[in-house]
Structure 1
Amino acid sequence: MGKICKSCGNYYSGEYCDNCGYGKPTGVSESVKKYRKAARNKPLRMQTEEDKKLYAKWAKEEKQEHTEKRNDPKAKMHFLLVVIIAAAIVIGYALYKSGALFSNTREEVIEQYFSSISQGDFDKFVKCFPKEIKREYEDDRQASGLGKEEYMKALYQEFTDTYGEGYSIIVKFGNTTELSAEDYDMSAYKDQHGSAPKLSEVCEVVTTVEFRGAKGSHTSRLYIYVGRSGGYWRIFGMDEDMGSINADGTPNEGDVPPIEDGSDPER
């Protein structure tokens, strides 16, 4: 036998109203709540005694449902889980931005730079630089039409010609001098690349690099400038210590000084 819903006036034949959900044993449905909210907007002077009794009944049902949800162990566990996940996201983001999470060191980015050259690894190579330089290398490779491995081989073909296939690069670190991030001039970098990242730290790392291969070997002393941006160390530039110059204009390799102990912060 059909019934008329006391909540929305819909005619239904089941255990509960299929229009608003009134009479559902699992609690007050969302559609019921919406209907009730609209019904309660009826001005008080226009409410009949039947309306007032119905609104009081709704309030009692909703209060009971709220109490049941609040005391439900599953609901409490769900709420606690949401709080834990939200806290973990906030903490993880803060650690990521500070560089404490998934960061690198000054030495690691320099080692990655030289190992990516000897291995011909384009992806590792471009990650050593700020986004502006990284983008320029990626654009240049796309324009060349070369694959990543082919591009790296062409970029450093001179090393292969000089030292032979499968050459190795040995890196040793000397003194590290901290520079003021505020005083480190990025204007030339910005002019060249269009924009410049904000640096929290800048260092000059004295590095001795030895190339070894079947065709020969060579040792260079480099001053590599690394900066920390967004929690990661990147390479911004490097200068080579040429030592004295021979009559033919080439550096005297015997002048390349041995690497110093990096414990002394002063060069």
Structure 2
Amino acid sequence: MATRICKSCGAEYKGEYCDKCGYGKPDVTSKALEKMKKDGAKPVRFMTPEEKEAYYAELKKKKISVNRNKKKVKASKGAVLAVFGVLAVIVVISLFATGTISLTSKTAPIEAYFKAIEEKDYAGFANSLHPDVRKQYEEDIAVLGATKDNYMSDYYCKDLEDRYGEGFTIKAELSDPKKLSDDDAKKIGSEAGIDSPKKPYMVDAEVTFSGSKKTETADLTIYVSSEPGGYKIFYLKAAEIPFTEDEMSKGGTNNSESSSQQQ
């Protein structure tokens, strides 16, 4: 009788069933055999070369499929992270755009304001102001028939030059910003014609104008609010600078900042 190799345990046997594990007996259950039946494939050790080649090819195919699925999952996670990243950028931009987050300090627009007046720079001057206030100046320029390039020298700074001399300088000493209460914010906003200024602060300033004709110091209170692009000036109050007796005798009018002047 020919020798056989057990398909369950791999042992050699003769006869109708395996002497070692019982494979072949109708009333004997072989764990190895049951596993083989469940998997639907022969154990590798029993496969022919052709069967092994097909088996490994199938395994390789499954592995590639699994790897692709992992890449898809990874790509999907990357896409989700990218979406969250884009959303985060949009949120930050929105916060800047609405003035919730500001790129500038509260005193930066005040410093820029005086520097722009000193240099007769309309762009810097306008950029330091609240959008609604800036719009008022643009309307004035249109009425005057002036241009933004000559407005500062021919109009806005003309009185200052007449009073202090050409090439005048401005030095401003600023206090620490103080947050306005809701009541004060409402009051000052109403005076300025600004509805609900965002995060309004007040800054006291001692401003010295110096030129070839004279030097004078004015005490100002400047109000800023958080707007798109940073803090902007939305209102300014200053004490009057008194005229000298000589100026009064010449019938001069006070060209300095008024006691309640909107910027």
What TM-score, normalized to structure 2? 0.55
Deviation at 1:150, TM superposition (A): 0.7
Aligned position for 2:260: none
Deviation at 1:207, TM superposition (A): 0.6
Alpha carbon RMSD of aligned pairs, Å?
A: 3.6
1:26-59, Cα deviation, whole Å (9 max, x unpaired): xxxxxxxxxxxxxxxxxxxxxxxxxxxxxxxxxx
Deviation at 1:143, TM superposition (A): 3.4
CA distance in 2, matches of 1:244, 1:137: 26
Change in 2 beyond 3 A, CA 1:171/1:139 = same
Give the percent of matched residue pairs that are identical in Structure 1 and Structure 2: 25
Aligned position for 2:233: 235
Correspondence for 1:187 among 190, 203, 221: 190
Tell me, which stretches of 5 or more residues in structure 1 are unaligned?
A: 1-64, 191-195, 251-267
Aligned residue identity for 1:207: A
Aligned residue identity for 1:203: Y
Change in 2 beyond 3 A, CA 1:231/1:150 = closer
CA distance in 2, matches of 1:206, 1:212: 19
Aligned residue identity for 1:128: S
Question: Which stretch of the first structure deviates more once superposed, 147-156 or 236-245?
Answer: 236-245
Number of equivalent positions: 182
Q: Does 1:129 align with 2:132?
A: no
Deviation at 1:134, TM superposition (A): 1.0
CA contact (8 A) 2:102 2:226 kept: no
CA distance in 1, matches of 2:132, 2:99: 20
Aligned residue identity for 2:211: G
Aligned position for 2:224: 226
Aligned position for 1:147: 147
Deviation at 1:129, TM superposition (A): 2.2
Deviation at 1:170, TM superposition (A): 0.5
CA distance in 2, matches of 1:169, 1:238: 16
Counterparts of residues 1-267 of structure 1 (less than 5 Å):
71-72=71-72, 75-76=75-76, 79=79, 82-93=82-93, 95-96=95-96, 99=99, 102-153=102-153, 154-174=155-175, 176-184=177-185, 185=187, 186-190=189-193, 196-229=194-227, 232-242=230-240
Higher-Rg structure is 2
CA contact (8 A) 2:113 2:128 kept: yes
Tell me, which stretches of 5 or more residues in structure 2 are unaligned?
A: 1-64, 249-263
CA contact (8 A) 1:118 1:169 kept: yes
